Amino acid sequence: MISVSKSVVFGTEYFRSTNGLKWRLKNVSRLHKEAQTMARYGYARISTDEQSHDPQLLELRREGLEEIITDTVSGRIPAVERPGLSGLLNRLGQGDSMVVARLDRLGRDTVDVMGLVRSLTENGVRVRILNIGIETGTPNGQLFLTILAGFAQFEREIIRERTRAGLEAARQAGKRLGRCPILTSRQKKHVCELKEAGRSLAEIAKIFRVSRSTVWRTVQCRV
């Protein structure tokens, strides 16, 4: 009997969008043509002091999973920075399943979690969430993804509205918007005086602990 091992379907190549932390997986290899062995993995994000008796682990063990991957990190840490989860994503192949006790084990940001679950689903990996009895790749799972996408969009709109309201309140209060200037007006004047005295950009940058490009821009603005 010839044993054929399963090849990994995708690796973890992540892309960060300008609107926030939205992660997606890119397909970087093909499934072995001869055969594939579907695998089921559990994932849990736990605290170090509850590792042996964490309810998540008990639920996952009752599922008879082949392997359970754990991380002891904050839920705010994105998937790419979690050693356990990022390693698991590298191993998952088409037809495999990832099981979690609760959706928030994948993250606390709805937008990020939505991107991760959708990417896994599009690449043929099923995600099963035990506490709500949902598995992607099924009709109920598709409905769940649609609802989750709606919540993610709602969250984005709330963030935008809060940002706009905050900026407007700052304007009305007469506060300066944007980054604080690197150099004060007095420092900028001193920079120009040193340049006129023949000091180099590198020397001036070292004095004020800024980059040479900052010194150059300051001098140009004063010309």
Catalytic residues: 47
DSSP secondary structure letter of residue 185? H
Q: What tokens were used for 142?
A: 């598709």
For 82, how many CA atoms within 13 A lie in the half-sphere containing its CB?
24
Alpha-carbon distance 61 to 145, whole Å? 26
Q: Find residue 71's DSSP bridge partners.
A: 45
CB atoms within 10 A of CB 21: 16
Q: Length of the chain in residues, anyone?
A: 223
Q: What tokens were used for 13?
A: 């190549």
Residue 213 Cα to chain centre, angstroms: 31
